[in-house]
């Protein structure tokens, strides 16, 4: 396509938007609303996944050893656990450390009651490995691996927490897909209506162009550009607004609910927009292109 043709198509595309101001503004507004909701939902899901991921990293299985197991074998068990697929990190807890933790949890304020165990650690056989996983859904595989290691007496795990976190992750995934499909369908429908109006306004002009031999690509280009422009504008407006609101919302939540600082952590806006910005723009451009391309194609073939 020649430069002059591209310039003409671009000019006509912008003119189409001006001719159909009401529908163009309605399409931009609705697409902005759809992408805003998509961005808002994406930000919530991304932060929720981040919180769940941190929670998963805090879920551990506890591996105990046979009483006669030598330290060299315990070290070997630790190395084997670290090399197991799905294991994030492995922490060794000695019997003394286990007793210190137990005292701080159960003898707080009455430390004198624990003094009787100074020379006799009641948790002498409780040395263990705390095994943390990157994905809690792999807990079953890691447990089976640990239970089959020589020198391992017992493996304790939390099935309820693991199943709950796994179910939450699946639920988030299903809801995300459903909402994205709905928003895409609504946006494409609106672009379709706008381009259809543009075709109706220029019906006679298009008929004349086809009559004198204009190719479909030449007729289609202005409408495609119209859809692309609407898509870009409809994406940039909500993305800019959401970027401003995201930082404010996180600050507000942290100030109003200060207790959450010790429970959860939100992703910074830059981290969220590393993916959201390109995805939002591509989404707007893609919806605009597909909506206009297939609409004009349908009318040209009619």
pLDDT in tens, 176-206: 788 778 877 776 676 666 666 656 666 666 6
The pLDDT value given to residue 8 = 67
pLDDT of residue 198: 59
Instruction: Say what the pLDDT of residue 270 is.
Output: 86
Q: What is the pLDDT of residue 299?
A: 61
Domain locations along the chain: 3-55+164-300, 60-157
Return the pLDDT at 202: 61
60-157 CATH fold: Alpha-Beta Plaits (3.30.70)
Confidence (pTM):
0.61
Distance CA 249, CA 178 (A): 25
pLDDT over 70 (residue 173): yes
Nearest to 19 by CA among 251, 162, 222: 222
d(CA 240, CA 269): 12
Residue 169: CB atoms within 10 A of its CB come to 17
Provide the pLDDT for residue 237.
92
pLDDT at 108 over 60: no
Is the CA virtual torsion 287, 34, 42, 178 positive or negative?
A: negative
Pick from 36, 34, 55: nearest CA to 44: 36
Q: In the predicted model, is pLDDT for residue 138 greater than 70?
A: yes
Cα–Cα distance measured from residue 231 to residue 288, given in angstroms and rounded to the nearest whole number: 5
Chain centroid to CA 140? 25
pLDDT of residue 1: 54
Instruction: Give backbone dihedrals phi and psi of 265, rounded to 5 degrees, phi first.
Output: -135, 130
Nearby residues of 20 by Cβ (< 8 Å), 6 or more positions away: 194, 197, 198, 201
Q: What is the share, in percent, of the chain residues with pLDDT greater than 70? A: 72
Residue 112 has pLDDT above 60, yes or no: no
């Amino acid at each position: 396509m020649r430069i002059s043709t591209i310039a003409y198509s671009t000019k006509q595309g912008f003119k189409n938007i001006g001719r159909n101001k009401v529908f163009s503004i309605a399409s931009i507004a609705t697409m902005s609303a759809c992408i805003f909701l998509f961005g808002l939902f994406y930000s919530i899901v991304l932060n929720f996944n981040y919180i769940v991921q941190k929670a998963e990293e805090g879920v551990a299985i506890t591996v105990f050893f046979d009483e006669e197991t030598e330290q060299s074998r315990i070290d070997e068990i630790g190395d084997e656990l670290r090399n197991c697929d799905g294991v994030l990190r492995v922490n060794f807890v000695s019997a003394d450390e286990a007793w210190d933790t137990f005292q701080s949890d159960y003898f707080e304020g009455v430390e004198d009651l624990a003094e009787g165990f100074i020379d006799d650690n009641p948790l002498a056989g409780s040395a263990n490995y705390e095994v943390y996983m990157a994905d809690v859904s792999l807990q079953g595989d890691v447990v089976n691996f640990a239970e089959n290691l020589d020198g391992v007496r017992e493996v304790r795990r939390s099935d309820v927490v693991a199943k709950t976190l796994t179910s939450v992750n699946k639920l988030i995934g299903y809801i995300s897909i459903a909402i994205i499909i709905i928003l895409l369908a609504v946006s494409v429908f609106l672009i379709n209506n706008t381009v259809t109006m543009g075709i109706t306004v220029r019906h006679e002009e298009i008929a004349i162009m086809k009559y004198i031999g204009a190719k479909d690509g030449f007729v289609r280009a202005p409408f495609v550009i119209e859809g692309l422009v609407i898509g870009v504008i409809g994406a940039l407006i909500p993305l800019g607004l959401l970027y401003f609101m995201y930082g404010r919302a996180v600050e507000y939540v942290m100030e109003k609910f200060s207790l959450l600082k010790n429970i959860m952590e939100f992703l910074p806006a830059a981290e969220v927009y590393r993916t959201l910005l390109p995805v939002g723009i591509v989404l707007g451009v893609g919806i605009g292109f597909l909506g206009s391309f297939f609409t004009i194609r349908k009318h040209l073939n009619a």
